[in-house]
Amino acid sequence: MVGTFHSHTHNCLCQLDWHPMYITGVGHMEDEGCKHLFSALNELARSTRHATRFHHHQAIKEFFSFWNEDKYEALTHFICNHFRQAMALVHKLMAKLTLLKDRLHLSDDDFPRFLAEERSYLLSVKRVPPQDGVKIRYVQSLDELAEWNAAHEVAIGALNSFIQGDQNTIASVLNAAHIHIDLAYTRLQNTEALVAHFQQLLDLESAWEVGGDEYNQYKKEATLGKYHEALGELEQLVIMRLFELVKLSLSGTGQ
């Protein structure tokens, strides 16, 4: 089981297996008890940072002694209050659940089935189907082909343009233009070969038209895939930053 705070940084498939919300018997427990302890220990670091080893150990021992005494003293109130809260929530949520089940014509057996169907669906989309992956790569190759076609035309246009200067300058410009043309033409040939290869894999009689229905469909899929990849990286960076702020006792300070 993964704590509630950390579970939301995992993907949906992982949450179905390990998020406390989906585990029978967990209830509203957040499973972040260690997090509360570590948060309180962060305050202790300020007073022991420059202390001697003896006073460092002494402060930690006293901290845990007071922590245990305080928690033990409040244990009865904690259990009683949470029991009352749990019973109130059970009564309230059971009433809502009964209404929803009647309205949607559901039974208790439907909820595990929904989770199983969601898990099955997420497993099926864990990876792009091979055929769709080829089509997405084919669309990307068509875009590359258009780019290198344009680059080749620009290079030829630069070669045919009027050049001013002495003989050495003209020779240098012409040499650079020839290099750009050769490079663009080589890339263009490679891309044309790649496009032809994908057309053969997809058994296409003719190339897809840029802007056509099939092209737009898989162009959207390719763009969406890049978006999800970037979003995942951004989410990872945000969580890493939050953890760094917590370690430095700077969370919630606007830093």
Residue 101: what pLDDT?
92
**Same domain, residue pair 226 and 151:** yes
Closest CA to 218 of 126, 123, 125, 128: 128
Same domain, 119 and 221: no
Give the domain-ending residue among 95, 127, 159. 127
Q: Are 26 and 20 in contact (CB under 8 A)?
A: yes
Together in a domain, 181 and 200: yes
Average of per-residue pLDDT across 66-92: 88
d(CA 194, CA 134): 11
Range of the domain at 188: 131-234
> Residue 254: is its pLDDT beyond 60?
no
Choosing from 127, 161, 188, the residue where a domain stops is: 127
Which pLDDT value is given to residue 165?
61
Question: Which residues fall within 8 angstroms of residue 239, CB to CB, at 6 or more apart?
Answer: 9
Looking at the fold, whether 116 and 27 belong to one and the same domain comes out as yes
The string of DSSP codes covering 222-235 is HHHHHHHHHHHHHH
Distance CA 207, CA 131 (A): 16
Which among 184, 177, 198, 195 has a CA at the least distance from the CA of 147?
184
Q: What is the pLDDT of residues 127-176, one digit of tens each?
A: 767 777 888 888 888 888 888 888 878 777 776 665 666 667 767 777 77
Asked, for residue 255, whether it belongs to a domain, the answer is no
How many structural domains comprise the chain? 2
Do 16 and 88 reside in the same domain of the chain? yes
In this structure, is residue 253 part of a structural domain?
no
The percentage of the chain sitting over the pLDDT mark of 70, rounded to a whole number, equals: 85
Identify whether residues 120 and 205 lie together within a single domain: no
- Measured N-to-C along each axis, helices 75-104 and 53-73 cross at an angle, to the nearest 10 degrees, of 60
Reported as a single tens digit per residue, the pLDDT across 96-131 is 999 999 999 999 899 889 989 988 888 876 676 777
Whether the per-residue pLDDT at 185 is higher than 60: the answer is: yes
The whole-model pTM stands at 0.45
pLDDT for residue 249 is more than 80: no
Q: Nearest Cα to 67, choosing from 47, 40, 45?
A: 40
Q: Are residues 78 and 102 in the same domain?
A: yes
